[in-house]
Structure 1
Amino acid sequence: MHLPKRAADAHAALAAAFNTGDVATVMGMYDVTGIIVPEPENPVSGKEAFETAIKAILSIGGIMEIKTVYCLETGSLAVGRSEWNITDGDTVKIKAKGIEVMRQQEDGTWKIVIDHAFGAEII
């Protein structure tokens, strides 16, 4: 798996990783010292919790698509807003609007530090 060299490419890279169906590939997109919110109001952190969350998302099955609404970058930090869904043929299994914070790594690639999959839906 190749991590994105631009923060703006993180959403597409995450969808590609998800669509491999491989937990390790998806885990590689994240800084597991951060936070993932795999379901509303359930933030988790740490490698084991990330792995559990990713396995649960992968168990949904189907194809993930992520549209980048915006990506704002300053220095080694970026925030993105996404609209994403998981479909199986014509059936939409889940869709949401998320907010993601990314950090540039020493090698110039980007990893997701905070992934609030439903963050743009909360009022």
Structure 2
Amino acid sequence: MDLPKKPEHVHTTLANAFNTGDVNIVMSMYDVTGIIVPEPGKPVSGKEKFEESIKGILSIKGKMDIKTVYCLQAGDTAVGRSVWSITDNGETRISAKGIEVMKQQPDGTWKIIVDHAFGAEDSLVA
């Protein structure tokens, strides 16, 4: 799977990566020196923790869909707001509102450096 060339394509590419079910394809979307928050209040960093988090998400049966609410770019950094869900046979298994920070790579592609899957939820308290 090719990494996105524009930050506004990151959400769609990430959903497609998750829908392959392949942890390595999903991992390629991330800079694992960053942070992923697979559940509220539990940020993790580093390759091992990223992989563990992604495997947990991949274990949820269904298809992932991510809609971009907005994507703002400033140079080689962008922030996106998303609404995402995993559904199976019409039943929503999980859904949330996320915030993602993306960084342009030297080859011009974009990777996620911060993925807060629940970062825009109304109930989230800092």
For the superposition of Structure 1 and Structure 2, which TM-score range results when normalised by the shorter chain?
over 0.9
Tell me the percent identity: 68
> What is the correspondence of 1:1-123 to structure 2 with a 5 Å cutoff?
1-121=1-121, 122-123=124-125
C-alpha displacement of 1:92: 0.1
Structure 1 length normalisation: TM-score? 0.99
Question: How many Å separate the matches in 2 of 1:90 and 1:17?
Answer: 21
Please, which runs of 5 or more residues in structure 2 have no aligned partner? none
How far 1:62 sits from its partner (Å)? 0.6
Report how far residue 61 of structure 1 moved: 1.7
Count of paired positions: 123
Note the C-alpha offset of 1:90.
Answer: 0.8
For 1:44 and 1:25, locate their aligned partners in 2 and report how far apart those are by CA, in whole Å.
19
How far apart, CA to CA, are the structure 2 residues paired with 1:61 and 1:71? 28
Moved segments of 4+, more than 4 Å: none
Counterpart code for 2:102: M
Q: CA deviation at 1:74?
A: 0.6
Q: 1:89 deviation in Å?
A: 1.3
Question: Residue 44 of structure 1 aligns to a residue in which SS?
Answer: coil
TM-score (norm 2): 0.97
Give SS of 1:54's match.
helix
